[in-house]
Amino acid sequence: MRTRDQMLSELRGNTPVIAPSMLKCDFGNLHREMELLDASGAALLHLDVMDGHFVPNLSYGPMVIGGMRGLTRTAFDAHLMISEPQKYLDDYIKVGCEAITVHLEAVPEPTGLLREIRRRGVVAGLAINPGTPISAVESLLSECDLFLVMSVQPGFGGQKFIPEVVSKIRDARSIAGNDLIISVDGGIGKSSIAACSEAGCDVFVAGSSVFDEPCYSAAMAELRQLAMDARTVC
């Protein structure tokens, strides 16, 4: 398992990062999915954890993630779309998650939790929903390593990208500078990735735009190139 410093170095060294969202994978053939993702060279896997309470859907938890951990050495970011995530922090660290992202809407005063995640040697992420303004997290960006902007309502895959969130990415980059890793999740594909990259995004969570394609490697390479081209233009 990577240390926090190793994880941050890998993410920054591989920017732009395409992070496949495991919510869209074939759980009936998980071993094969992991082989394909390893072959694609994925630097990060995005693990959508939903509790049916904070969001109106259920997905999977530590037991399934532990099974995934035994199949790959690729880095894991556990995106906890759950109520009271502080109660389950140990569970996700024990199964090998090198980054843990919690929602401001679930933890309105997240400073203590973010500091504890960092203290445990794990990358600390903070996410906000589309309706939450950047002003709500401005004073918190220095407390996290990764800032996740939701570009759809959390809870389900395959939703349409909300373009208004691009300004949040741009504002977060302006406020926090280049040290903060900024991620975007929801509706990321060929038509939306360039705008997010140009605004300053580093990590692009991609579900349907990877798993619905016949070749994961080719899909991820095309998305990454589009993100790189947008940065070159700007």
Amino acid at 56: P
Question: What's the CA gap between 132 and 105, in Å, rounded?
Answer: 8
Q: Which of 87, 36, 92, 34 is nearest to 61 (CA)?
A: 92
Q: Quick check: is 185 catalytic?
A: yes
Which entry of 26, 48, 171, 202 is annotated as an active-site residue? 48
Which entry of 51, 171, 185, 202 is annotated as an active-site residue? 185
CB 74 within 8 A of CB 48: no
Q: Quick check: is 48 catalytic?
A: yes
DSSP string, the chain: ---HHHHHHHHHHTPSEEEEBGGGS-GGGHHHHHHHHHHHT-SEEEEEEEBSSSSS-B---HHHHHHHHTT--SEEEEEEESSSGGGGHHHHHHTT-SEEEEETTT-SS-HHHHHHHHHTTSEEEEEE-TTS-GGGTGGGGGG-SEEEEESS-TT-SSPPP-GGGHHHHHHHHHHH-SSSEEEEESS-STTTHHHHHHHT--EEEESHHHHTSS-HHHHHHHHHHHHHHHHHH-
Query: What is the separation of C-alpha 56 from the centre of its chain, rounded to a whole number of angstroms?
Result: 19
Residues identified as active-site: 48, 185
